[in-house]
Amino acid sequence: MQSSVLGLPELIAHRGNAAEFPENTLEALASAVELGVRHVEFDVQLTADHVPVVFHDANLVRVAGRSECVHELDWQQLAGIPIGEPTRFGAQFAHVRPTSLAGLAEALPGWQGVTAFVEIKRHFDELFAIVAANNGAVVKTIGDEVMFVATTAADAAEIAVELVAFADQHPALRGLRGGLAWGRLVRGYGDYYGPVVNLAARAVKEAQPGEVLADLELIGQVQAATRLRVGCVPVNPANRPSSFSGSRASGNRRSSLRK
């Protein structure tokens, strides 16, 4: 990013002046502005009662020395917890508390000429851990989508079902859908390609919130290898993509996976 004045590079204060203040706090962001920075960045996620708050980590361990997760606490509970990063700063910022997005929005008009960049945290770290724990590997994320691969159909099914189950417990992720397909892939430039990838993508689009759809090749292997239950749900033929027919059971029904 280049400044229009003298071609000087512009700086973005990542989580505010995090070198001298607890990160992602009103104090850190205000300090960056006072130092002359014209661009600030901060993270936002939801509390248990769906209040957007300025917070990076999924839990309070690093900034408060506590084990609770942000999504487990109501805003009133979180608002009273000191987040002064005692490991870095000791008791110097024991008075610092979290700020809500609404609270930060009230301060922005006073920071004239400042542009704010917001990153919405969706707790991909926890989702990645589920994939890794079941012998899978994350290929990439696109927006709120996660693409992963696994070496066995059973592992792929376990991963998908556990991801959906985890999301159902998280207010920011609830309603996650999954799509699986089994077969050979073409790998290149850190990504995977081929008809199997396209089929899985179509399965995601057809799945209902909280559901994992899979092609019949994968279903056949999963039934013999896991404790997952395979169910069939009705399909509206008018909405069925023709290229997705290979993943259908007979009688206009589709195969889904559940615990």
**Residue-range domain boundaries for the chain:** 12-120, 124-258
pLDDT tens over the chain, length 259 residues: 444 445 556 789 999 999 999 999 999 999 999 999 999 999 998 888 889 999 988 789 999 999 888 888 999 999 999 999 999 999 999 999 999 999 999 999 999 999 999 988 766 777 888 899 999 998 887 767 889 999 999 899 889 988 888 888 776 677 888 899 999 999 887 789 999 999 999 888 888 888 888 888 888 787 766 655 555 444 333 333 322 223 333 333 455 655 5
Fold of the 124-258 domain: Alpha-Beta Plaits (3.30.70)
DSSP assignment of the chain equals: -B-SSTTPBP-EEETSSTTTS-TTSHHHHHHHHHTT--EEEEEEEE-TT--EEE--SSBSHHHHS---BGGGS-HHHHHTS--S-HHHHTTTTTT----BHHHHHHHGGGSTT-EEEEEE---HHHHHHHHHHTTEEEEEEETTEEEEEESSHHHHHHHHHHHHHHHHT-TTTTT--EEE--S--EEETTEEESHHHHHHHHHHHHSPTT-EEE-HHHHHHHHHH-SPEEEEEE--GGG--GGGGGGEETTTEEEEEE-
Fold of the 12-120 domain: TIM Barrel (3.20.20)
